[in-house]
Every structure is written in C-alpha cells, then in structure tokens.
Amino acid sequence: MLEQLKDEFVKHVRGLQDEITAKMHEIDAKLELQEDLWEREDYESNPGGGGITRAFTGDIFENAGVNTSVVHGAISPEFAKKIGSSDARMWASGISLIIHPKNPKVPTCHANFRMIQAGDKFWFGGGADLTPFYPIEEDFEYFHGVWKEACDPYGIYQEFKDKCDDYFVNKHRNNEMRGVGGIFFDHYNTGDTEADFKMVKDLSNQFIRSYFPIVEKRLNEKFDSEDEDFQLHRRGRYVEFNLLHDRGTMFGLQSNGRTDSILISLPARVKYSYRYAPKKGSAHEKMMEYYFPKAWV
Amino acid sequence: MLEQLKDEFVKHVRGLQDEITAKMHEIDAKLELQEDLWEREDYESNPGGGGITRAFTGDIFENAGVNTSVVHGAISPEFAKKIGSSDARMWASGISLIIHPKNPKVPTCHANFRMIQAGDKFWFGGGADLTPFYPIEEDFEYFHGVWKEACDPYGIYQEFKDKCDDYFVNKHRNNEMRGVGGIFFDHYNTGDTEADFKMVKDLSNQFIRSYFPIVEKRLNEKFDSEDEDFQLHRRGRYVEFNLLHDRGTMFGLQSNGRTDSILISLPARVKYSYRYAPKKGSAHEKMMEYYFPKAWV
C-alpha cells in the first residue's frame, strides 16, 4: 500500500511540475527553460534516485526553479542520528519551486510538497509562502484566502499558517519574516496515510490558483529604482534565510544532494548595504511592518 | 599579566583600525565612512562590552567594513558547552575587516585577528586571505610572499597557509576555495602567552603591506562586463561561504553579536545563476583553476 502511494506521489508531483511549467510559459513569452535530468549516488555509492531540475530565466520571471526528485538509499549514520531515525535508509520525493519575478510589484513565491520515509518513520511536509516587496494588501489577502479555503476542509489553516509564521523567520534580523507567510507543515502523519496523502495532493493542487493570478494582475505595473532597490535588499534577506536557517537547504546539502538544484532558490540579483533601511514614509517602510505575523483573512 | 596583555591587545587592534582607515581614505578620495559605536548586553543582560564598526562605501572600495570589538560576560550554557568551556564566562577582542573593491581586477580581501578567553581556556586566532577575480598571478605571489616573510621568524607559514586552504572552502561546491588563501590560525596557544601575543601583533602589522600595494597597482585597470559578471557570481560564492560555513559568522550570530556588524562582510552587489560557469577559454575559466590549494611562493 505504502509502495503504491509512493508511486502515486511521484506521478503527482511530476504532473504538477508540468502544469506549473506550462503556466509560466503562458505568462512569460520570453521564458527560457534549462532542464537537467540528474542521477544521484547514495551514501554507499549505490544508485540513489535523481530528479528533474527546471531552471527558468525570462522577462517576467527573472529566475525560477521548479524541481522534482525521488531520492532513496543509505544515509550516513550521523545524518540518520540527526533526523532521529533508527536505521540508515531513506526515501523521499517532492516538488520544490521558487519564482523570483523581475518587477518588484510582483511577489516572489516558494512552495514545496514532499513525502519522506526515513527508517521506520514516515511523513509529509510542505507549504507555500509569499514574499512581496510592495504593500499591496489585497494580494496578500488573496494568497492567504486561497490557502485558507484549501485548508478549511481539514481544519488546519490556522495551525499551518502559524507554523509558516514561525518558520520563515530571520532570527538574526529582529525576527523579521522573509515575507508575509502562507502555510507550512512538517512531519505530518495522522496515522491515516491515505487521508494524509489526499490532503497533500489537494493542497498542492491549489498552488497555481494561489499565486499566478497575482502575477497576471501586477506584471505590467510601473516601478522605479527605489522599488527595485528595496526588492534587491529584501532578496538579500531571502538569501540570508535560505543559507542560515532553512532546514530544506541544510537537508539537501548534507544528504549529498545536487547543489545546483538546491541553490536554484537564490535570486539572480541581490544587494547588501550596511544597516539598510527604506526611506522614511515610503511604501517600502510600510511594507516592513508586514514582515511580521498578521491575520490576512 | 593576562589582564595587561588584554588591555594591550585592545589598544593594538584599535590602532590598527585607525591605520587601515587612514590608508583607505588615502587611496579612495570619495570614500564615505559611517562609524557606529555600539554596546552589548551579555547573556544575563549585564553590560557586555561593545565595539567600533566602520562601514565604508566608495568609488574604489565599493563596500567595506573595518571593525573592532571587546566583548565579555556570561554566555549561554549551550554555547559554553559547544565551545568546550568549563564555565560560562568569556572575553574576546579583535579586529575584523573585509574590503570589496568595485574593479574586478582588484581582489577582495579579508583579515581578522582576535584574542579569546572562554572560561579556563585562552587562545589567539586570525589570518588574512585574498579573493581575486582575475588571474594576475604576480599579485597572489606577492600576497603570499608578504605573509611568508611575516611568518618565517616563527616557522609557521606552511602550517598557517595549509589551515587557510582547508578553512575557506565551499564543500558544497566541489571543495572550491572562496579565493586563493593566505594564512589562518585558531586556538593558538603555545603556553607562552607573551610570545604568542608578539607573534599576532607582528602578523597583524603586515596586513597593510600585504594588500594595499595590490589595490594601488590595479585600481586603474580596465574591465568589461564579462569581468564584472564573473566577479558578481564569485561574490555569490563568497556569500555562500560566509553564511553556510564560516565559524566566525556563526559565533557572532549565536553569541548575541550585532548582526549589522557581522554581516557587513557581505558584498554590495551579488549575482546568482543556475549552473554558472565562465566562458570557455576565458581568463575567468583560468581563474577557476586557482580556487584550489597551490604553492604561491
């Protein structure tokens, strides 16, 4: 039964990868796609699965990655211990995507849905979160609204929303979030695997509807150099989060993952300035207030 | 005796901070300096020292930080355990600097010299390393030559050079170094504290001679957009090293350090591209070969 669900999960994430790819091409006529099929060796140098990495650069989507993978095999004893597993074998599959639009009025978005088996443990994880650079509140309400609607049948919106607010936080930057949140869950296992599987499938199927309408609504909005400057500095905070705090990045790099596929998450252009702060009274200063937990719906 | 050395060390790093600041102003007429004096609370909310952060932006030096600090007081029990200290009190002072020139023909440079007392343990650490973006071999030979000459009286060049080659490595990027190395040492304590102190003073006094003649020689060299593109991508690797691997950054952020002073190390502008590689046959491709250990003198 579990084996059948695993197969189905892989099929599901690959289908979703294709749908998202198609949607992106539809929106961005100049979008270029570099696809890499990669294979992996496990800790004992046996075949250990692989993945399909899709790297995009375009006019509207400055850079993006929409990746799927299925990895399995032996893990190092240290790593097994770290994840609390009784044996050193694992299986994991998922879709992971991150989209960095060029226009600062269009938010960056990340989503990830995964199924993991480690030794005798088994769980689902995932979520979707929005990183805007301009205070267009209705977009944040829309994004959270879609996820609330998707989560409501399972009664888990508030829980998953709170987890997201807790997770995507730069502790070293006064607990600023990297964006305005969304939903996040990990080690999800109610005991009813089929029901859990169905939930994750339902949620992941909402990604397209949660994000791309915002892109389509904002992609022609005008922006100036100050908008871009704020965006590039906030992208800097995005890099800080991913490299200092993100468990997915750590897991990937420490489990002998493919570095280029993992760090595809980093934005194409970034700025850092000592004690960066937006102009007093600007929309960007307003935006800073939103990088803290807030009820959006 | 130890208390007197500690005072002398603080005086020494502050003097060096002023000398380096003066040298930078001499080279870059448009250099702007933002100086912040900051105070710190220790783990128990008692006064815990502070520092002098100097952040620079200029025409030749795109961004740079030349910082000194003296911090002391209680540390968290977890942190004490992590550094292997029997009690939860520490004292540390040092100078830490990083300079990111605008012209890709001028290397980035980092140096750090510190004196640390943690519980019953006591040691020196530091070093200097060069991160060039163009294969001008004579500059790398010059830099290493100065450090070899400085280390030779103590018979420790090879050891410190090897440690540097081992330390500044992006393991997740096929073990590429972030630059061409230099010297690095940590937990240095021969038992003769006065002699150790003298060595660290001697070494740190060589920093100006090791780096600024290279800046002065190259600052007017022409460069094109490909040179800059390579530089900005290599700066991306620099950020990856600092946030994923650098123990100094970790130590700073985990010991309740001042985030803005710690992350002043990040370069002003950075680029990331999926599977970035320099053009075949270019000088930049040649440069890539040098990001691995090599005998430069």
ipTM for this prediction: 0.94
Query: What mean pLDDT is predicted for residues A96-107?
Result: 98
Instruction: Judge whether B239 lies within some domain.
Output: yes
Is B55 within 8 Å of chain A by CB? Answer: yes
Cβ of A273 within 8 Å of Cβ of B63? The answer is: yes
Closest-CA distance of chain B to residue A276, Å: 9
Active-site residue, from B12, B72, B100, B110? B110
User: Are the beta carbons of B263 and A253 separated by less than 8 Å?
Assistant: no
A55/B275 Cβ within 8 A:
yes
Q: What percent of chain B has pLDDT over 70?
A: 99
Q: At what angle do helices B157-167 and B137-151 cross, to 10 degrees?
A: 130
Distances (CA, A) of B256 to A37, A105, B259: 43, 35, 8
Residue A296: inside a domain:
no
Give the mean model confidence (pLDDT) for residues A127-143: 98
Q: Does the reported pTM lie above 0.80?
A: yes
Subunit contact B244:A260, Cβ cutoff 8 A: no
From B275's Cα to the closest Cα of chain A, the distance in A is 6
CA distance A59 to chain B (A): 15
Put simply, whether B247 touches A (Cβ < 8 Å) is: no
Contact B260 A274 (CB under 8 A): yes
CA-nearest residue of chain A to B246? A244
What sign does the dihedral A255-A259-A261-A266 (CA atoms) show?
Answer: positive
Whether pLDDT at A295 is above 90 = yes
**Cα dihedral A102, A107, A163, B258 in deg (nearest 10):** 60
**Model confidence band, residue B208 (pLDDT cutoffs 50, 70, 90):** very high
Least confident of A15-19, A106-110, B253-257: B253-257
Mean pLDDT of B160-189: 97
Integer-rounded Cα Rg, in Å, for chain B is: 19
With a cut of 70, say whether residue A276 has pLDDT above it: yes
pLDDT band, residue B205 (cuts 50/70/90)? very high
Q: What's the rounded Cα separation, in Å, for the pair B106 and B133?
A: 8
Which residues of chain B make contact with A273, given a CB cutoff of 8 A?
Answer: 57, 63, 268
To 10 degrees, the CA torsion angle through A241, A244, A248, A251?
A: 170
What is the tens place of the pLDDT at every residue in A145-200? 999 999 999 999 999 999 999 999 999 999 999 999 999 999 999 999 999 999 99
pLDDT at B86: 67
**Is B240 an interface residue toward A (CB < 8 Å)?**
yes
pLDDT at B110: 98
| Pairing relationship of beta strands B108-118 and B121-131 according to DSSP bridges | antiparallel
More confident residue, A202 or B88: A202
Average pLDDT of chain A is: 95
Residues 6+ apart with CB under 8 A from B244: A243, A253, B170, B172
Helices A137-151 and A207-218: crossing angle in degrees, nearest 10, is 170
A99 lies in some domain: yes
Query: What does the pLDDT average to over B253-281?
Result: 94
**Residue in A closest to B259 by C-alpha:** A172
**Closest residue in A to B266 (Cα–Cα):** A272
pLDDT computed for residue B88 by the predictor: 78
- In a domain, residue A297? The reply is no
What SS3 class is residue A137? Answer: helix
Cβ distance A236 to B173 less than 8 Å, yes or no, reads no
Read off the pLDDT of residues B127-137 as tens digits, 9 standing for 90 and up: 999 999 999 99
Q: What's residue B201's pLDDT? A: 97
| CB-CB under 8 Å, A274 with B65 | yes
Interface membership of A263 toward B (CB under 8 Å)? yes
pLDDT of residue A82: 74
Which residue does chain A place closest to B55, by CA atoms? A274
pLDDT given for residue B45 in this prediction: 86
Is residue B145 scored above 90 in pLDDT? Answer: yes
Q: Which of A205, A262, A197, A196 is nearest to A7 (CA)?
A: A197
- For the domain that residue A213 is a member of, what is the CATH number? 3.40.1500.10
Residues 6+ apart with CB under 8 A from B89: B72, B73, B74, B75, B118, B119
Contact B55 A240 (CB under 8 A): no
Tell me, yes or no, whether A183 lies in a domain.
yes
In this prediction, residue B255 carries a pLDDT of: 74
Question: Has residue B297 been placed in a domain?
Answer: no
The minimal CB distance from B259 to the residues A57, A172, A260 is found for A172
Q: Which residue out of A272, A273, A275 would a mutagenesis test of the B interface target, given it has the greatest number of B Cβ atoms within 10 Å?
A: A272
Residue B79 has pLDDT above 90, yes or no: no
Q: Is residue A162 part of a domain?
A: yes
| Average per-residue pLDDT for chain B | 95
Q: Is B292 helix (H, G, I), strand (E, B) or coil?
A: coil
Catalytic residue among A12, A72, A100, A110: A110
Range of the domain at B250: 2-289
Residue indicated by tokens 């039964």:
A1
Which residues does chain B have within 8 Å of residue A57's beta carbon, measured at their own beta carbons?
A: 273-274
Residue B110 falls in the annotated catalytic set:
yes
Going by pLDDT thresholds of 50, 70 and 90, the confidence category of residue A86 is low
Report yes or no on B285 lying in a domain.
yes
Total domains in the fold of chain B: 1
Nearest CA in chain A to B273: A268
Contact between B63 and A272 using a beta-carbon 8 Å cutoff: yes
Chain A interface mutation, best of B66, B178, B258, B270, highest count of A Cβ atoms under 10 Å:
B270
In chain A, pLDDT over 70 holds for what percent of residues? 99
Report the SS3 class of residue B66. strand
Determine the straight-line distance between the first and last CA of chain A, rounded to whole angstroms. Answer: 38
pLDDT for position A290:
98
Which residues does chain B have within 8 Å of residue A244's beta carbon, measured at their own beta carbons?
243, 253
How many Cβ pairs closer than 8 A exist between chain A and B?
A: 76
